[in-house]
Amino acid sequence: MAPIFFTAQGLPLDTRLIVLGQEYHVHSAILKMHSAFFNAFLDSPDKIEHVAKKWKLNKRNGGGFIYEWVSIIENDGIGWSLMAEEAATAQGLDTDLTQFKQDKQKAIHAFDNILRAIHTINFSRCWRWQTTRGALRVTVLNCQEMLDHAIRLRHADMFRECIVYLAGNWDKIHVFDNSKLDIKVRLIIAKARDGIQKKIDAAKGELEDKIFRCPNHLYPLLIMNVVNDLVIREGSNSPGIFRASMQEFEKYYAPPYLQCVWHLSNVIRHKLLVNNLKFMRNDLLPGEDLYDNFFLCAEVDEKDFPWDPLQKDW
């Protein structure tokens, strides 16, 4: 496979990562900036002497790699990890990729997306189109691997991205099987999903209050009939019903309903139809197009991460 380059003006490609046979040429400065893992281990105390020698050699020769990391397959043939080449050689670790029992391309794609996130590049390869009942819908590709890499690399933004997407799936048919995920991650998803449900309940209560405070007594009945029809058609609490309700409200952007409708629309737009995705936004609202059955308003607090942000060695 040909090497993949992550370039940026003014920064040297001083790092080579060989991920299950796929070679990446990247910037150590960017890796350290966006990944606690690389920040801790590229220049860890056991590597300082080797890195210093490489740096002097590269300076004399006018370029080259300072950091070179390779893939190590774990004994079970399922897990794998990246390790500095000199450390792997010193420990006599086997880099034979034929022992890897999982789908190598999926694992490479997952790591590729992590690097794209680190370099703030849209990681569309994270997603795949799937035809379901004649319609195109977007699904997460190997999301378990994405989460695994995000945790290993301590990549907060990527971890949040996966949780927002998984917790916000309101599709009753295409339910993500999270049984293979670590129990800590499952609890984080459950907490984020519970947070979405609380936002839905609060928004519905606020909508009802604002509707019945509207000065025109016919207006609340009109809106409630519209909403009830949408509930029957879309299914209660689905993202589509709130998006459709907002569109119905906005049909009445005229006196004497202007202020009332503005409040109703804002409740939905700014509390439920928020898109908290960072890398795959597409400027779409939940309940439409790619995200027809997704709420994307989940929040993940740093204190809930499945790792200690203050940990220096792991």
pLDDT tens digits in sequence order for the chain, 314 residues long:
788 988 777 778 889 999 999 999 998 988 888 777 888 888 888 887 888 888 877 767 667 889 999 998 888 888 888 888 988 888 888 778 888 888 888 888 888 877 887 776 554 433 333 333 222 233 344 566 678 878 877 888 888 988 998 899 888 766 777 787 889 999 999 999 999 999 988 888 887 777 777 666 556 566 666 666 666 665 567 887 788 777 776 766 555 666 777 777 788 888 888 888 877 666 677 877 778 788 999 999 988 998 876 665 55
**pTM higher than 0.85, yes or no?**
no
Does one domain contain both 151 and 95?
A: no
Six-digit token pair at 71? 């893939």
Does one domain contain both 167 and 264?
A: yes
Does one domain contain both 182 and 243?
A: yes
Q: Where on the phi/psi map is residue 64: left (φ > 0), alpha (ψ -120 to 50), or beta? A: left
Q: Which of 187, 113, 172, 173 is nearest to 143 (CA)?
A: 113
94 CB-near residues (< 8 Å, 6+ apart): 72, 73
DSSP 285: P
Which one of 86, 102, 118 terminates a domain? 102
Q: Which of 65, 149, 156 is nearest to 112 (CA)?
A: 149
Does one domain contain both 199 and 78?
A: no
- Cα–Cα distance for residue pair 225/227, rounded to 1 Å: 5
For residues 265 and 251, the answer to whether their CB atoms sit within 8 Å is no
SS3 197: helix
- Cα–Cα distance for residue pair 89/95, rounded to 1 Å: 9
Indicate the Cα dihedral angle 277, 283, 284, 286, nearest 10°.
Answer: 40
Alpha carbons within 13 angstroms on the beta-carbon side of residue 66 total 22
Does one domain contain both 170 and 80?
A: no
Does 121 map to a domain?
no
Q: Cα–Cα–Cα angle for 222, 226, 229, nearest 5°?
A: 140
Amino acid at 60: R
Does 115 map to a domain?
no
SS3 58: helix
Does one domain contain both 93 and 11?
A: yes
- Cα–Cα distance for residue pair 275/242, rounded to 1 Å: 14
Does one domain contain both 197 and 312?
A: yes
Q: Cα–Cα–Cα angle for 9, 11, 17, nearest 5°?
A: 120
Does 243 map to a domain?
yes
Characterize the bridge pairing of strands 22-26 and 4-5. parallel
Range of the domain at 40: 4-102
Does one domain contain both 11 and 158?
A: no
Number of domain units in the chain: 2
